[in-house]
Structure 1
Amino acid sequence: MAKINQAACIGGGVIGGAWAARFVLAGIDTRIFDPHPEAQRLMSEVMANAERAYEMLTRAPLPVKGTLSFSGSIEDAVRGAEWIQESVPERLDLKRSVLAQIDAAADPKALIGSSTSGLMPTDLQRDMKHPERMFVAHPYNPVYLLPLAELVGGQKTTRAVLEDAKVKLATIGMTGLIINKEIEALVGDRLLEAFWREALWLIKDDVCDAETLDNVIRYSFGLRWAQMGLFETYRITGGEAGMRDFLSKYGSSLSWPWSKLTDVVDLDADLVEKIAVQSDAQSGQRGIRELERIRDQNLVGIMQALKVGDEGRGWGAGKLLAEFEAHLWKTAPTLRANPSNGALKLLELKVPAAWIDYNGHMTEYRYTQCFADACDALLQLIGADIEYVKAGHSYYTVESHVRLLAEAKLGDALYVKAQLLPSDGKKIHTFMWLYQASDETLLSTYEQLMLHVSSKENRSIPPLPEVMRKLKPLIEAHAVLPAPDAAGRSVGQRK
């Protein structure tokens, strides 16, 4: 799969900075040009939130972070970049000027995306010498978490460029949806604009206040839309007869004078003040960065919940997350074991906020998750990876024992080491240690027995030869190591 090696972000505000964070966390060296005097401070805050979110989002091995640097000019920022994302303010004259400068300085084969929310790509590419490689790549905030970018070409954009952009976005965990024709405001913003207009009328007419309106969304159809969207949700509403029956029953209601979607509300000073006061009452006690962190943590939870839907294949944004994790595992640097060095170092991580319990410590089942993730790394090492599982073979845990010895706290750097105990490969018997990296404090130990199975035959069988070829040398090398003191312990046995 084609990947991006170097990116440039022209404009480092809310959207441009989040694009940069997405690129950097995907292992892409990224340069930013933004003349704002506070650009570097703002970018550091966006980056901190993005890193926090990714620590919660996945335990798949992320690539080594790309470098992030600021350039003093557009020309310097785009030099050598394969993907250039323009995210300057929504003024046609400004964007045309910036895109023309990018076009003149960039490699002719570089992709140029614009984060515009409402301008047409044909209008934007007017002054470019290479307009065929320019397109709208309209994301949703926060770009480093929400996986969608609407891809829209102008009259001079080639279809191959849009297809190439779609492939490259997949390598950074995003899906590029190619829109058939360019329209003002794109698909998502058209829908949001209609919804926003009706919401403003409900506030203006004192039908409800801002918090009540938000609660209606998040306690009802917002939950449905997060996983099935609009049309699939309404298909279910139609019952067994499906969409045709739903439209025949409810289509006529569209002509009823319920809404004011076609009327534009007057955002006069009184209405602005009413909404601002209600918004302050609802959430003014929290700063913007705190709200962003809450938003990110909630989004991560939703995507992780959706990832396990549909028998583990994922649903909605969860399906995209599952596919991104599969890509991360597939492209991760191969862990190379040197059995003569003793136990294998399988996992390094930092304790994220989502893992902290009401006592302020890492909650108990997260210790087991650390070991489970280390076990996944071991299976990757011997070739029992996701493709092996898809082919109908896997290792299942049949017994385990965990000891909790010391506490881990938010932000602590941890690592897991493992020793393979004598076994025949059909069974893998391991002992693992979880350490705090700063002072080598032993936090927990874990003993595990796994059994190789054929999911197609629904029985235990020996592993395939290619797995055994990698596993056997590890078992033999570790057979000469001293047995761990706590191996074979029973629950409650004295330390």
Structure 2
Amino acid sequence: MTKINKAACIGGGVIGGGWIARFLLAGIDVDVYDPHPEAKRIVGEVLANAGKAYAMLTGAPLPPHGKLTFRDTLEAAVEGADWIQESVPERLDLKRNVLTQIDAAAKPDALIGSSTSGLLPTDLQRDMRHPERLFVAHPYNPVYLLPLVEIVGGEKTSAATIQAAMERLPPIGMKGVHIAKEIEAFVGDRLLEALWREALWLIKDDICTVETLDDVIRYSFGLRWAQMGLFQTYRIAGGEAGMRHFLAQFGPALQWNWTKLMDVVDLDDALVEKIGQQSDEQADGLSIRELERIRDENLVGILQSLKGSHGGKGWGAGKLLKDFEQQLWAAGGGEKQGLDVTKPLRLIDTKVSPAWVDYNGHMTEHRYLQVFGDTSDALLRLIGVDLDYVERGHSYYTVETHIRHLGEAKLGQAIHSTCQIIGSDEKRLHVFHALHDSASGDVIATAEQMLLHVDAKAGRAVAAPEEVLAKLRPIAAAHAALAMPDGAGRHVGQKR
């Protein structure tokens, strides 16, 4: 898979900072140029929020963070970069000037993306010496969580550039969609603009407040759109007859005078103040950074839920996250450098995600099993039972589990799990896991599990191959010298 080795970000505001975070968290070094005097502070705050969000988003082993370097000149920032992302303010003259400077300083095979939300790439590439490598890469805020990027080429953009840009996004957990023809505002912002225009009229005409309007979206079709989009949602609305029935039934409504989409509201001072006051009341004293963190927690919960849907295969953005995590596990979930086998193996480090908690803010019971299952999976990867091994038709199946709840894991709490092998032979693997509070080291829960090596196609237990046993034996031998962990062999209801 084609990857970005080094990135450069020109502009470090809301969108530029999000790109910086996305690259760094994918293990990519990033050079930044932004003449704003507060650029380092602003980027630092975005990175802090992004780090918290990623800690909740995935338990997969993220690569070491890329190196962040602020440069004094644009030319120094783009030197040696494979992907250069321009995110300066939305003014054609400014963007065109900056992109022309990037083009003159970048290495010949560098990709140059613009974060513009509506300017045409043909206009942006007008003065470039190598316009074939310029494209629009329009993301959505927050860039480090929302995975979509609209890829739009101009008249002089090469097909090879578009293909290269699309190929480099999945390794950083993003999905590129190629917009076939360049139009102002592309696709996403055109849809948002139509909704935004109608929303402004509803506020101006006192039909509802900004909070009521937001509630209508987030409690209804916003949830549908998050996982299925517009057309597939309406296909379902058509019932068994599908989309054609929906269009026949509701198509005539398009002729009704319901909306004011072509009648632009006058954003005079009174309306601006009205919207601003209602928005202040809706925020209820929460700062922008606090709202960002709440947004991130909500998005993480939605993404995590979608990852587990469709029978565990994932759905929409959740499937994209699942595929991204498989890449991370493949890259960082095998041999662990410096792992001490003379004590229980520390295999999983994570935080309690918003999607994992109940109404009390405590981790729900099935999430404990999930973490312990992830711990078993990490051990199996350590001995060579990885995704490729499973796809070849063999694996270890968990046949028995006993969990003890000794404490409570709470929202945002850093936790880690350890694994001790307490018995093994050619077919069986007997393990004991402990879940710890990472700050105090206290044990929150334990799980004792028995796993059988199976031939999935035959549906029966078989001996593990020597390649697996050879990796298992040294760990099992080292753990045989350890004391039996407290709680091993207990049965449900046994007195302490």
TM range (shorter): over 0.9
Cα 1:191–1:269 change in 2 (3 A) is same
**2:157 & 2:484 partners in 1: Cα distance?**
64
Cα 1:364–1:229 change in 2 (3 A) is closer
**2:69 & 2:407 partners in 1: Cα distance?**
39
Shift of 1:80: 1.4
Percent of aligned pairs sharing the same letter: 62
Matched position secondary structure for 2:187: helix
Cα 1:409–1:334 change in 2 (3 A) is same
Name the residue aligned to 1:62: 62
1:196 aligns with 2:191: no
CA deviation profile, 1:176-210 (whole Å, cap 9, x unmatched):
11110111111000110111111111111122221
**8 Å contact from structure 1 (residues 85, 115) kept in 2:** yes
Name the residue aligned to 2:146: 146
State the one-letter code of the partner of 2:160.
A
Runs (5+) with no aligned partner, structure 1: none
Mean Cα deviation higher: 265-274 or 345-354: 345-354
**8 Å contact from structure 1 (residues 6, 81) kept in 2:** yes
**8 Å contact from structure 2 (residues 352, 414) kept in 1:** no
Mean Cα deviation higher: 85-94 or 409-418: 409-418
State the one-letter code of the partner of 1:453.
V
Name the residue aligned to 2:220: 220
Matched position secondary structure for 2:169: helix
**8 Å contact from structure 2 (residues 80, 106) kept in 1:** yes
**2:194 & 2:230 partners in 1: Cα distance?**
14
State the one-letter code of the partner of 1:483.
M
Name the residue aligned to 1:172: 172
**8 Å contact from structure 2 (residues 17, 46) kept in 1:** yes
**8 Å contact from structure 1 (residues 346, 378) kept in 2:** no
Name the residue aligned to 2:304: 304
Q: How many equivalent pairs are there?
A: 495
Name the residue aligned to 1:40: 40
State the one-letter code of the partner of 1:396.
Y
Counterparts of residues 359-374 of structure 1 (less than 5 Å): 368-374=369-375
Matched position secondary structure for 2:172: coil
Runs (5+) with no aligned partner, structure 2: none
1:274 aligns with 2:245: no
Matched position secondary structure for 1:449: strand
Name the residue aligned to 1:448: 449
**2:417 & 2:59 partners in 1: Cα distance?**
13
CA deviation profile, 1:433-484 (whole Å, cap 9, x unmatched):
4445556545544322122334434443333554334334433443344433
State the one-letter code of the partner of 1:474.
I
**1:430 & 1:452 partners in 2: Cα distance?**
14
After superposition, the CA RMSD in angstroms is 2.5
Cα 1:218–1:360 change in 2 (3 A) is closer
1:378 aligns with 2:347: no
CA deviation profile, 1:292-347 (whole Å, cap 9, x unmatched):
11111111111111112222111111111111111111122632488984135342
Q: Give TM-score scaled by structure 2 length.
A: 0.92
Counterparts of residues 349-368 of structure 1 (less than 5 Å): 349-352=349-352, 354=354, 368=369
Shift of 1:44: 1.3
**8 Å contact from structure 1 (residues 148, 175) kept in 2:** yes
Matched position secondary structure for 2:136: strand
CA deviation profile, 1:211-255 (whole Å, cap 9, x unmatched):
111111112111111111111111112222222222222222212
Shift of 1:392: 3.8
Mean Cα deviation higher: 301-310 or 427-436: 427-436
**1:51 & 1:339 partners in 2: Cα distance?**
25
**8 Å contact from structure 2 (residues 117, 138) kept in 1:** yes
Mean Cα deviation higher: 378-387 or 138-147: 378-387
Cα 1:85–1:396 change in 2 (3 A) is same
Matched position secondary structure for 2:345: strand
Shift of 1:416: 3.2
Cα 1:437–1:53 change in 2 (3 A) is closer
Shift of 1:386: 2.5
Shift of 1:407: 6.1
Q: Give TM-score scaled by structure 1 length.
A: 0.93
Cα 1:374–1:230 change in 2 (3 A) is same
**1:124 & 1:60 partners in 2: Cα distance?**
39
Cα 1:291–1:478 change in 2 (3 A) is same
State the one-letter code of the partner of 1:239.
G
Matched position secondary structure for 1:186: coil
Matched position secondary structure for 1:451: strand
